[in-house]
Chain A
């Protein structure tokens, strides 16, 4: 074979070329900027304007935040520190007011020796809610339970709970965790019991007061179960039994039990509630009660029974047609004229009732929206299966309707929680205005204007954002269709 063509064999590439990177204009930061910020003349102008606004805001607020002072006991001291550190005329945030008065922003005038009661009640709230809120996600449930239990114990200890109470909290929490783990159905019962526990922790007094009221509910349920085969009679019987117990016996029973086994906490005045303790107490109570009430009202409004329907329509339209402040004024002032003199109808209870009624009217309309979104076929199919009204609602209609209404429901929750600041108009110490104004009324903090707002806004944001994130989590989890 001649060597002649050895050099003339055409080139054959044995390997692939490595991929070249895209041209400079089509990659990296440059591309991102071009597609997202400068994709056309209009967007370019908007970007420049937005940058300018951001810079302007930053320039305005950053020095004020950078000059923040925490270690000061009066505005005058803050100003002296500003002048010393940043020169004459410098201004900054005087957050000493938060450092010195944070407890009042959180607890109002609740006595400091009893701070452990609201803090543990707040943490136990999450223990009560975890089995309801995180039914499917075991991991999330345990994270919440763990944080809440450790929080309940640690915060109570930090806020100076006496040793016997601490032991009670520790034992109670461990038992509760065991129930959540091994008897999930019983955990739901504990969740229902929690409101009574919370009322006792917050207001104090003998434990047998709330306990005997709870006993009345238990008696009602037992009578209802015993009479279950008599239909509607069972409900009437149960209600009557509970009412009889509450009316005639529970007071004496509580007194007797207290004599046999004295178990009480120092009683707290409702007037001592303030700040976020007040906002969260009213908010949580109104939120938890307005959901079931709203469901009932929404169903009643769709009912075929004319009286029930008329009642629901009148109630909802009346409450929605009246500003919340009006209802609060009625609760706080007008009721006093009609109650016999000397009646002591707790002001926070009155406010909770009004806020709950207000929220439930809105809730009813949100849920009615969910009900209306279900196709007629769902009702007919449920009927065809032979389900009665309540079973149909419980098994077929409400699960779907509530799922659709989640964003609206949580929106109403957040609205209600923020509306609790309106209690300032009936002389209660809401964290945003009344309490801040009151703290400014001591000469040391006169002129501390923005700091309290920033602090309260921060806490409101955490709580509302938390609710909002939870609703998104729930929507993700319940997503079964429309993928």
Chain B
């Protein structure tokens, strides 16, 4: 009995300690970032097109651009960023413990992460989905023909669970070959250890493009899951979540209204579109409503261009990765990218 009381007391003390820690972290991410003069982004330690450092250690990629845009909006300089590489296992803990301000790390927004893990996914920056790649000479044209196939699958990711769900739903069998990283998966697949390789479609496209013989591999048409990749922030600091969401929306809206990094200066003076005027801070002070200045969005767009420019520069069809816009086109062009109005 005394033991239980003692353990209970310890647990309560730990809970108080944890909650005070969490309380202190609430509401003041913006203040902490401004005081530090630097934004700390949790990023993928290396994912082709999304985040990778070059030979001089400068990071670039689709997720990196979003992080830089947030830094430009909040701190005023797209280079005042520290990138903290986080692994699949450590990313959410790094965010909850306050080690990073925001995760821009191709993380799938999901129910459990939103609720149980106490995270917020302010807005989706890339709509992905899980697909399959097989060798052409396997003669398979649909994932439903993969009955009994061995499939290379990265452990500890949502793709693993999707795979199990989809095969169960379609009542066919498969044999998983567990792998730890993308590089290992490619190697196993090329060595013939598995018939099919499954991961997010963007990753498959990049992997296939880097093969010596891309023409001998096909990506099957089935997309078996929804993978809305989104930046993540801690639950509870709503203003900070607003800033992340609105920065992303500013990039999307800029593409919609034709604001690019090239004509940004000119439009901020001469645009007659009231929405553009408000976005770029020429009229109203939208930034002031979330603790920033009027030109926050202008700086965010100047950092790497609007959403379309970022996409084209990092993963678009002109790059070796060659992803089509697909679901990530603007809503006006049949995609899902839709920013709420700036008013």
B24 interface residue (CB < 8 Å to A): yes
Are B55 and A438 in contact, with the CB atoms below 8 A?
Answer: no
Are A440 and B90 in contact, with the CB atoms below 8 A?
Answer: no
Could you tell me the distance in whole angstroms from the C-beta of A239 to the nearest C-beta in chain B?
Answer: 29
Q: Which listed residue, A104, A337, A443, touches B21 by the CB 8 Å rule? A: A337
B321 interface residue (CB < 8 Å to A): yes
Q: Which listed residue, B49, B93, B181, touches A437 by the CB 8 Å rule? A: B181
Which stretch of A157-165, A228-236, A279-287, A420-428 is in the interface? A420-428
Are B210 and A75 in contact, with the CB atoms below 8 A?
Answer: yes
Could you tell me the distance in whole angstroms from the C-beta of A37 to the nearest C-beta in chain B?
Answer: 35
Could you tell me the distance in whole angstroms from the C-beta of B319 to the nearest C-beta in chain A?
Answer: 8
A79 interface residue (CB < 8 Å to B): yes
Q: Which listed residue, A79, A108, A425, A447, touches B186 by the CB 8 Å rule? A: A447
Which A residues from 93 to 120 make CB contacts under 8 A with B? Answer: 100-101, 103-104, 108-109, 111-112
A375 interface residue (CB < 8 Å to B): no
Could you tell me the distance in whole angstroms from the C-beta of B289 to the nearest C-beta in chain A?
Answer: 26
Q: Which listed residue, B32, B97, B181, B320, touches A333 by the CB 8 Å rule? A: B97
Which stretch of B80-88, B220-228, B244-252, B291-299 is in the interface? B80-88
Which stretch of B40-48, B70-78, B133-141, B164-172 is in the interface? B40-48
Note all chain B residues with C-beta closer than 8 A to A111. Answer: 57
Q: Which listed residue, A101, A103, A336, A427, touches B45 by the CB 8 Å rule? A: A427
B94 interface residue (CB < 8 Å to A): yes
Map CB proximity to A onto B17-30 as digits: 1 under 8 Å, 0 otherwise. Answer: 11001001100000
B187 interface residue (CB < 8 Å to A): yes
Are A443 and B55 in contact, with the CB atoms below 8 A?
Answer: no
Could you tell me the distance in whole angstroms from the C-beta of B79 to the nearest C-beta in chain A?
Answer: 14
Note all chain B residues with C-beta closer than 8 A to A333. Answer: 90, 93-94, 97
Are A427 and B46 in contact, with the CB atoms below 8 A?
Answer: no
A272 interface residue (CB < 8 Å to B): yes
Taking CB as reference atom, which chain A residue is nearest B47?
A441
Which A residues from 425 to 470 make CB contacts under 8 A with B? Answer: 425-427, 429, 433-434, 436-443, 446-447, 449
B211 interface residue (CB < 8 Å to A): yes
A103 to B55, CA, bound (A): 8
Note all chain B residues with C-beta closer than 8 A to A41. Answer: none
B267 interface residue (CB < 8 Å to A): no
Count of inter-chain pairs, beta carbons less than 8 A: 105
Note all chain B residues with C-beta closer than 8 A to A439. Answer: 46
A340 to B23, CA, bound (A): 11
Note all chain A residues with C-beta closer than 8 A to B51. Answer: 441
Map CB proximity to B onto A217-251 as digits: 1 under 8 Å, 0 otherwise. Answer: 00000000000000000000000000000000000
Are A449 and B45 in contact, with the CB atoms below 8 A?
Answer: no
A341-B187 in contact given A333-B94, A443-B49 (Cβ < 8 Å): no
Are B90 and A425 in contact, with the CB atoms below 8 A?
Answer: yes
Map CB proximity to A onto B45-62 as digits: 1 under 8 Å, 0 otherwise. Answer: 111110111111100000
A342 interface residue (CB < 8 Å to B): yes
Q: Which listed residue, B21, B45, B48, B82, touches A446 by the CB 8 Å rule? A: B48
Note all chain A residues with C-beta closer than 8 A to B209. Answer: 443
Q: Report, as a range, how many residues of chain B touch the other chain.
A: 35 or more
Could you tell me the distance in whole angstroms from the C-beta of B34 to the nearest C-beta in chain A?
Answer: 14
A389 interface residue (CB < 8 Å to B): no
A109 to B5, CA, bound (A): 50
Note all chain B residues with C-beta closer than 8 A to A440. Answer: 46, 182-183
B262 interface residue (CB < 8 Å to A): no
A426 to B25, CA, bound (A): 22
Which B residues from 233 to 251 make CB contacts under 8 A with A? Answer: none
Note all chain A residues with C-beta closer than 8 A to B186. Answer: 446-447, 449
A338 interface residue (CB < 8 Å to B): yes
A229 to B207, CA, bound (A): 73
Are B46 and A437 in contact, with the CB atoms below 8 A?
Answer: yes
A447 to B213, CA, bound (A): 12
A429 to B43, CA, bound (A): 13
Q: Which listed residue, B17, B90, B211, touches A427 by the CB 8 Å rule? A: B90
Which of A111, A336, A441 has the largest number of chain B CB atoms within 10 A?
A441
A428 to B132, CA, bound (A): 31
B98 interface residue (CB < 8 Å to A): yes
A438 to B186, CA, bound (A): 15
Note all chain B residues with C-beta closer than 8 A to A342. Answer: 32, 98
A443-B90 in contact given A336-B98, A429-B45, A429-B85 (Cβ < 8 Å): no
Note all chain A residues with C-beta closer than 8 A to B98. Answer: 336, 341-342
A333 to B85, CA, bound (A): 14
Are A447 and B32 in contact, with the CB atoms below 8 A?
Answer: no
Note all chain A residues with C-beta closer than 8 A to B47. Answer: 441
Which A residues from 303 to 358 make CB contacts under 8 A with B? Answer: 329, 332-333, 336-338, 340-342
A34 interface residue (CB < 8 Å to B): no
Taking CB as reference atom, which chain B residue is nearest A333?
B93
A395 to B57, CA, bound (A): 52
A436 to B52, CA, bound (A): 11
Taking CB as reference atom, which chain A residue is nearest B211?
A447
Which of A340, A433, A437, A438 has the largest number of chain B CB atoms within 10 A?
A437
Note all chain A residues with C-beta closer than 8 A to B89. Answer: 425
A75 to B212, CA, bound (A): 9
A441-B97 in contact given A104-B57, A425-B90 (Cβ < 8 Å): no
A446-B25 in contact given A100-B55, A425-B89, A437-B46 (Cβ < 8 Å): no
B99 interface residue (CB < 8 Å to A): yes
Could you tell me the distance in whole angstroms from the C-beta of A82 to the nearest C-beta in chain B?
Answer: 9
Are A271 and B84 in contact, with the CB atoms below 8 A?
Answer: yes
Could you tell me the distance in whole angstroms from the C-beta of B328 to the nearest C-beta in chain A?
Answer: 19
Map CB proximity to A onto B154-181 as digits: 1 under 8 Å, 0 otherwise. Answer: 0000000000000000000000000001
Could you tell me the distance in whole angstroms from the C-beta of B186 to the nearest C-beta in chain A?
Answer: 7
Are B53 and A438 in contact, with the CB atoms below 8 A?
Answer: yes
Q: Which listed residue, A109, A272, A433, A441, touches B48 by the CB 8 Å rule? A: A441
Are B55 and A449 in contact, with the CB atoms below 8 A?
Answer: no
B312 interface residue (CB < 8 Å to A): no
Q: Which listed residue, A75, A108, A338, A447, touches B17 by the CB 8 Å rule? A: A338
Note all chain B residues with C-beta closer than 8 A to A103. Answer: 55
Taking CB as reference atom, which chain A residue is nearest B184?
A449
Taking CB as reference atom, which chain B residue is nearest A425?
B87
A380 interface residue (CB < 8 Å to B): no
Taking CB as reference atom, which chain B residue is nearest A107?
B57
Q: Which listed residue, A79, A329, A442, A449, touches B54 by the CB 8 Å rule? A: A442
Are B82 and A271 in contact, with the CB atoms below 8 A?
Answer: yes
Note all chain B residues with C-beta closer than 8 A to A447. Answer: 186, 210-212
Map CB proximity to B onto A123-152 as digits: 1 under 8 Å, 0 otherwise. Answer: 000000000000000000000000000000
A440 to B320, CA, bound (A): 14
Question: A-contacting residues of B (Cβ < 8 Å)?
Answer: 17-18, 21, 24-25, 32, 44-49, 51-57, 82, 84-87, 89-90, 93-94, 97-99, 181-183, 186-187, 206-207, 209-212, 319-321
17 additional contacts (CB under 8 A) given A333-B90, A437-B182, A442-B52: A79-B212, A271-B84, A333-B94, A336-B98, A338-B17, A340-B24, A425-B87, A425-B89, A426-B90, A427-B94, A438-B53, A438-B85, A441-B45, A441-B46, A442-B53, A443-B210, A447-B212
Contacts A/B (CB < 8 Å), 27 sampled: A79-B212, A100-B55, A108-B57, A109-B57, A337-B17, A338-B17, A341-B25, A342-B32, A424-B87, A425-B87, A425-B90, A427-B87, A427-B90, A429-B45, A429-B85, A433-B181, A437-B183, A440-B183, A441-B46, A441-B51, A441-B52, A442-B52, A443-B49, A443-B209, A446-B48, A446-B186, A446-B207
